[in-house]
C-alpha cells in the first residue's frame, strides 16, 4: 500500500507492521460500496437500492431495525424496505443502509480501547447523527455527506487496537502525565488511530475531504485544510464523549477548540444543549439495538 503524497493527510513514515495491518484490513463491505457507488449517480431508483439489500437478508433486517429505532425512527413502524425508502427518502435510507452494513466491521470488541462488542459502532452512529443535527441547526451550506466522516472517524481503532494493547503499560504511563491518548499513541507507536483511520479510508478511495476530516478529528488546530465538514466531525465526536472533565477512553478534554467554535459560530449554551441531547440519544439507541 502506498501512502498519500506528502502534504495531503500523512506527513511522516508509519511503522511497517502497522502499514501491513492496514494493507490487510478488509475492503469496505460490498453492500456499502455498492450503495456508495449508486448514490454517486444523479438519478437513483428506489428499486436499485432495495435490490442491493435483498441479496443480504441479515443486512435488510438490520436496516429495518435501525430505521425503526428511537434514534432514526419514522412517525410509524416501517415494515418493508420499499416502505422505508418512501418514508425516509433515498438519501436518508441509503445512509441508514451504509450504517447497518458497516456494523459488521465495527460491532466487535476492540482490544486496547476497552470497547465492548457494539460499543464502537453505537458511538459512531451517535457521532454521525449528531453531525447532521448540528449541520441542520446551524443551517450550514457545506453539509454534503457530513454523515460519512462522522460515521467512520474511529475506523483506525480496529487496526491499532492490538498495537495499543501490546503497549498498554507505556501508553497509560504517558497518559497519566495528562497527555491525551492520540499523543501517547504517537509517542509509543509512531502513529495514532485517527491517522490510521485516514489511511484506511484513503485505501477505500474516499474523497480527500472525508479522509482529512477523519485524520484530524482530535486535532483540528493542526488541520491545515480545515472545512466545515472536518470541524463538525471533530465537534460531534466531542459532544458524544462522557460528560465529565475528560474523555476517560480517549484522554481528550470535552472543552471544544475555541477556533472551531468560532468558525462554526457555536455558542456555549448551544453546544451544551446539543451535547446533552446527544447523550440521551445514545442511551436510547443502545437500549433499542443489538446487532449480531
Per-residue pLDDT of the chain (292 residues; tens, 9 = 90+): 343 443 345 556 889 999 999 999 998 888 888 888 877 777 778 888 888 888 888 888 888 888 887 666 567 788 888 888 888 888 788 888 888 888 878 888 999 999 998 889 888 988 988 888 888 777 775 555 788 899 999 999 999 999 999 999 999 999 999 999 999 999 999 999 999 999 999 999 899 999 999 999 999 999 998 999 999 999 999 988 865 544 444 444 568 899 998 898 888 777 777 777 777 777 766 665 554 4
Instruction: List, in order, residues 6 or more apart from 41 with CB less than 8 Å away.
Output: none
Res 270: pLDDT: 78
The ranges assigned to domains in the chain are 16-288
Res 6: pLDDT: 35
Res 128: pLDDT: 87
Which CATH code of 3.30.70.890, 1.10.3210.10, 3.65.10.10, 2.60.40.1890 fits the domain covering 16-288? 1.10.3210.10
Q: What would the DSSP string read from start to end of 190-201?
A: SS-HHHHHHHHH
Distance CA 55, CA 197 (A): 29
Res 143: pLDDT: 55
Instruction: List, in order, residues 6 or more apart from 288 with CB less than 8 Å away.
Output: 69, 70, 71
| Burial per residue of 18-40, b for 16 or more beta-carbon CB atoms within 10 angstroms, e otherwise | bbebbeebeebbebbbbbbebbe
Beta bridge partners of 253: 246
Report CA-CA distances (Å) from 194 to 9, 36, 66, 212, 292. Answer: 11, 22, 27, 10, 26
Kindly report the CA angle at 73 between 71 and 278, in degrees rounded to 5?
20
Distance CA 221, CA 218 (A): 9
Amino acid at each position: 500500500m502506498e501512502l498519500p503524497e506528502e502534504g495531503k493527510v500523512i506527513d511522516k513514515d508509519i511503522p511497517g507492521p502497522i502499514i501491513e495491518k492496514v494493507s490487510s484490513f478488509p475492503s469496505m463491505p460490498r453492500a456499502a460500496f455498492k450503495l456508495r457507488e449508486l448514490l454517486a449517480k444523479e438519478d437513483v431508483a428506489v428499486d436499485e437500492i432495495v435490490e442491493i439489500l435483498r441479496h443480504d437478508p441479515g443486512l435488510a433486517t438490520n436496516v429495518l431495525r435501525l430505521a425503526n429505532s428511537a434514534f432514526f425512527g419514522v412517525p410509524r413502524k416501517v415494515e418493508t424496505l420499499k416502505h422505508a425508502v418512501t418514508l425516509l427518502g433515498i438519501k436518508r435510507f441509503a445512509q441508514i443502509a451504509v450504517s447497518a452494513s458497516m456494523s459488521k466491521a465495527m460491532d466487535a470488541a476492540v482490544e486496547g480501547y476497552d470497547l465492548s462488542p457494539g460499543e464502537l459502532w453505537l458511538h459512531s452512529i451517535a457521532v454521525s447523527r449528531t453531525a447532521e443535527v448540528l449541520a441542520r441547526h446551524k443551517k450550514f451550506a457545506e453539509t454534503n455527506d457530513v454523515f460519512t466522516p462522522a460515521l467512520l472517524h474511529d475506523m483506525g481503532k480496529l487496526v491499532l487496537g492490538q498495537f495499543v494493547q501490546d503497549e498498554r503499560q507505556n501508553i497509560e504511563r504517558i497518559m497519566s502525565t495528562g497527555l491525551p491518548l492520540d499523543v501517547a499513541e504517537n509517542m509509543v507507536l509512531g502513529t495514532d488511530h485517527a491517522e490510521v483511520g485516514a489511511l484506511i479510508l484513503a485505501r477505500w478511495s474516499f474523497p480527500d475531504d472525508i479522509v482529512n476530516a477523519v485524520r484530524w478529528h482530535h486535532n483540528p488546530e493542526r488541520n491545515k485544510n480545515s472545512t466545515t465538514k472536518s470541524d463538525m466531525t471533530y465537534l460531534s465526536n466531542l459532544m458524544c464523549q462522557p460528560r465529565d472533565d475528560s474523555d476517560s477512553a480517549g484522554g481528550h478534554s470535552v472543552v471544544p477548540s475555541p477556533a472551531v467554535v468560532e468558525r462554526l459560530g457555536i455558542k456555549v449554551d448551544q453546544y451544551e444543549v446539543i451535547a446533552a441531547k446527544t447523550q440521551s440519544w445514545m442511551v436510547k439507541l443502545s437500549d433499542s439495538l443489538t446487532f449480531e
